[in-house]
Amino acid sequence: MTQDATPASLQPPRQMMGRGNAWLRGLGAVLVSMAMTFLGLIAITFFVGRVVPIDPVIAVVGDRAPIEVYNAVRAEMGLDDPLILQFLRYVADVLTGDLGMSISTGGRVIDDLVRVFPATLELATLGIIIGVLLGVPMGVYAASHHGTFVDHAIRVLGLVGYAVPAFWLGLVGLAVLYARLQIVGGPGRLDFFYDGLVPPVTGLILVDSLLAGDMAVFRNAFSHIILPAAVLGFFSLAYISRMTRSFMLDQLSQDFIMTARVKGISERRVIWHHAFRPIRVPLVTVIGLSYASLLEGSVMIETVFSWPGIGNYLTTALLNADMNAVLGATLVIGMVFILINKGSDVLYRLIDPRARA
Amino acid sequence: MKPILEVENLRVSFPAPRGRVEVVKGINFSLGAERLGIVGESGSGKSMTGRSILRLIQRPGRVTADRLQFEEVDILSASDRQMRAVRGARISMVMQDPKFSLNPVITIGDQIAEGLVAHRRLPRAQVKEKTLEMLRAVRIADPEKVVKLYPHQVSGGMGQRVMIAMMLIPEPTLLIADEPTSALDVSVQAQVLDIIDELIRRNNMGLILISHDLLLVSAYCDRILVMRNGEVVDECAARDLAASTHPYTRGLLAAMPHLNETRDELPMLDRRSQAT
Ligand SMILES: Nc1ncnc2c1ncn2[C@@H]1O[C@H](COP(=O)(O)OP(=O)(O)OP(=O)(O)O)[C@@H](O)[C@H]1O
Ligand SMILES: [Mg+2]
């Protein structure tokens, strides 16, 4: 049978598909690949949960229980069923938000996560905003003033961002700005007497206090978050400015930059319109990576600042061998990674004409 | 004829491990509303000469001259602002390879219009009209469609015509074309050069055509400078090129293949006999 035998009506009407359609298909593909990646992630946490030498039955019945009780509970928990059945049940549980109970907090893991994740989200978001707002212009400036004193200064700052440990910077910051100068709030998200004043809507205290119109809470929350966010922001600034600088240097040596100069446009326009535009694409990836690493919960910073975020939660869970909590937190962190990755993928398509179908 | 560009003792140097090296070593020429060809081997300093006229050589490169005068502007002492007013609007430059010299993420229409709006405040509709008109002038059939495209979506020949449109839209008086066709397919080279030639004549502009191709330059120029190692070694009217007695020029001419060629091997340039 030849290809010509295929009825024309079965072939997709290629010419008729406009740009909008291509877009929808692209979005569909992104969603499907996201779902697949997420399923893979669930599979990994499932198998990790099976191989670790922590017996979930003992976690329930205790290590003194008679063997009959142990076996009965084991059967009840479905652990005797075929693995594939267990996996499907696990997927269904995860999708309905049932991540089991936490032995360290005594509550449902999902409730714990809903409580701790916004704390990390708020901190990381403020951190990345600081990192981008300062890091990008610094990188651009350094590249366009290549070899000058300011360029070297910015590079040294970037190196410091690599060499200095986060907890040290956090501790010094607390010692100077909080303990001595008292211009920022101390550890935690709020001072004790501001706690619980505004109803949690988003879990982000800065947003919730604005929604409630309570400026006192907002100011207090801000004084607490600004120092840890600045420390995180400094580390992402170091990375972002270094990458921006090297992307920009690369662009500024391209022929089309000379073309732009030949036209007689201002140097500012040459830099921002001609050299910066093409690097927005790789920059989105760099910023996404940096944001993701902040969202994983910077364990050091959350510990130093007693920040009740996911990094803190995960460490506590690990130390208590609290398997459900560990797996739940891992799922959330993995999901954040997938979302940010796919998000920067989509942005990439939006920005770069060459990546558009 | 009153010259529009005068160059005296132009030198370009770059720092090297042992002191600075000169890549352009004191060349002189002047140019009216005519077509000047600069030929020479790779590395002879042709591009550096062209770029110094627009003051596009950046640190650590250094340009000096006894005189580098474009109309009333002293290029070497002009302020950055004065220089920007000269660039594009009065002296423009077409570069070698449209694949690299057009911005990959800006539409062709925007890139062409930019050269115009940088120098003149015009209503949007008029900018658009001029852009389309300019594209038609470089023989692009459906300009309405092309203005919306990105550089990677057009062929090399069309990319170079876009480049020409972009550089001529503010109506400069001097165009420097630095190997405008060496990155192009042979079949479109003549077309691109014809377009440049037509527009130059129509607007009564000066042209500096830089190339390593003697025949091409002699076909499209009135006068020819032959450069070698940063120096001008020969200068003649294009129609007298074949009669040039300079050994280096003769060598270049002899090294070129001809149609209905009977030689088995092309001769090499014998550099010993022409020690500078
Ligand atoms: N940034 C630089 N630093 C040091 N030397 C340079 C630099 N740029 C160019 N040169 C040297 O200047 C010389 C002249 O270069 P130029 O580009 O003018 O040659 P050209 O005649 O245009 O050659 P081609 O036909 O290959 O384009 C070359 O020998 C080159 O190595
Ligand atoms: Mg050159």
Q: A352 C-alpha vs ligand 2 centroid, how far in Å?
A: 30
Q: Which two tokens stand for residue A218?
A: 């907002």
Q: For residue B257, what pLDDT is reported?
A: 67
Q: Which helix (H) or strand (E) holds B223?
A: strand B223-228
Determine the atom of ligand 1 nearest the C-alpha atom of B41. 25
The full set of domain ranges for chain A reads 25-95, 117-320+339-356
User: For residues A145 and A239, what is the distance between their CA atoms, to the nearest angstrom?
Assistant: 19
Q: Mean pLDDT for chain A?
A: 86
Reduced to 3 DSSP states, what percent helix, strand and coil does chain A have, rounded to the nearest 5?
75, 0, 25
User: What pLDDT score was predicted for residue A184?
Assistant: 86
Q: Is B106 on the interface with A (CB under 8 A)?
A: yes
Residue A50 pLDDT grade (very low, low, confident, very high; cuts 50, 70, 90) = confident
Q: Ligand 1 center to residue B162 CA distance, Å?
A: 26
For residue A142, how far is its CA from the centre of ligand 2 (angstroms)? 29
pLDDT given at position A295:
86
Assign A61 a pLDDT band (cuts: 50, 70, 90): confident
CA-nearest residue to B175 within chain A is: A262
The alpha carbon of B230 and the centre of ligand 1 are apart by a number of angstroms equal to: 9
Q: Which residues contact B261 (CB under 8 A, 6 or more apart)?
A: none
Q: Whose CA is nearest to atom 24 of ligand 1?
A: B42
* B1-90+173-242 maps to CATH 3.40.50.300: yes
Closest ligand to C-alpha of residue B48 is 1
Residue A2 has a pLDDT of 42
Per CB-CB distance under 8 Å, the chain B contacts of A147 are 59
pLDDT of residue B271: 64
For B104, the closest chain A residue by CA position comes to A278
**The pLDDT value given to residue B124:** 92
At residue A5, the pLDDT reads 41
Residues with CB under 6 A from ligand 1: B 14, 23, 40, 42-48, 61, 212
B152 in reach of chain A (CB within 8 A): yes
Select from B54, B101, B152 the Cβ nearest to the Cβ of A255. Answer: B101
- Give the gap in angstroms from C-alpha A275 to the nearest C-alpha of chain B: 9
ipTM: 0.89
CATH of domain A117-320+339-356: 1.10.3720.10
pTM for the predicted model, two decimal places:
0.82
H or E, element range at A166? helix A166-173
Reported as a pLDDT band with limits 50, 70 and 90, residue A195 is: confident
The torsion of the CA quartet B50, B52, B54, B56, rounded to 10 degrees, works out to 110
Query: Tell me: the pLDDT tens digits for A274-306?
Result: 999 999 988 998 999 999 988 876 788 998 999
Q: Name the DSSP letter for residue B87.
A: B
Q: What is the DSSP string of B121-166?
A: ---HHHHHHHHHHHHHHTT-S-HHHHTTS-GGGS-HHHHHHHHHHH
Ranges of each domain in chain B = 1-90+173-242, 100-169
- A265 contacts in chain B (CB < 8 Å): 84, 88, 114, 118
Q: Transcribe A100-150 into DSSP letters.
A: -B-TTTSSBHHHHHHHHHHHHHHHHHHHHHHHHHHHHHHHHHHHHTTTSHH
Identify the residue whose C-alpha is closest to ligand 1 atom 18.
B45
Best of B59, B91, B94, B105 to substitute, by most chain A Cβ atoms within 10 angstroms, is B105
Q: Do A267 and B95 touch (CB under 8 A)?
A: no
Average pLDDT over residues A327-353: 86
On the CB side of B153, CA atoms within 13 Å amount to 16
H or E element at residue B192? helix B186-202
The whole-angstrom separation of Cα B202 and Cα B100 is: 29
Q: Closest-lying ligand to the alpha carbon of B227?
A: 1
For residue A274, list chain B residues with Cβ-Cβ distance below 8 A.
103, 106
Contact criterion met (CB < 8 Å) for A263 and B56 = no
- Given an 8 Å threshold on Cβ–Cβ distance, is B166 in contact with A278? no
| Closest ligand 1 atom to Cα of B16 | 4
Structure-token pair, residue A321: 């061998």
**Nearest atom, ligand 1, residue B44 CA:** 21
**Nearest Cβ partner for A264 among B89, B103, B106:** B89
| CB < 8 Å from A in window 49-68 of B | 54, 56, 59
* B contacts of A254 (beta carbons < 8 Å): 100
* Cα–Cα distance for residue pair A270/A255, rounded to 1 Å: 12
Distance CA B176, CA B88 (A): 11
Candidates B163, B173, B190; CA nearest to B72 is B173
A225-245: per-residue pLDDT in tens? 999 999 999 999 999 999 999
Distance from CA of A254 to the nearest CA of B (A): 7
Q: Which helix (H) or strand (E) holds B170?
A: none
A277 in reach of chain B (CB within 8 A) = yes
pLDDT at A20: 61
One pLDDT digit (tens) per residue for chain B, 276 residues: 678 999 999 999 999 998 899 999 999 999 988 999 999 988 999 999 999 999 999 888 999 999 999 999 999 999 999 999 999 999 999 998 999 999 999 999 999 999 999 998 899 999 999 999 999 999 899 999 999 999 999 999 899 999 999 999 998 999 999 999 988 888 888 888 999 999 999 989 999 999 988 888 888 999 999 999 999 988 888 888 777 777 788 777 777 766 666 667 767 666 665 544
A261 to chain B, any CB pair closer than 8 A? The answer is yes
Which pLDDT band, with edges at 50, 70 and 90, does A55 fall under? confident
| Residue A305: per-residue pLDDT | 93
CA distance A118 to chain B (A): 37
Tell how far the Cα of B118 is from the centroid of ligand 2, in angstroms: 27
Residue nearest to atom 4 of ligand 1 (CA): B14
Residue A77 has pLDDT above 90, yes or no: no
Task: Identify which ligand lies nearest to the alpha carbon of B61.
Answer: 1
Residue nearest to atom 22 of ligand 1 (CA): B47
Candidate of B11, B20, B44, B63 to mutate for ligand 1, largest count of ligand atoms within 8 Å of Cβ: B44
Residue B98 in contact with partner chain A when CB distance is under 8 A: no
Read off the tokens for B253.
Answer: 């001419």
Residue A111: both structure tokens together: 């409730």
Nearest to A256 among B56, B85, B101 (CB): B101
Q: Among all residues of chain A, which has the CA nearest to that of B107? A: A353
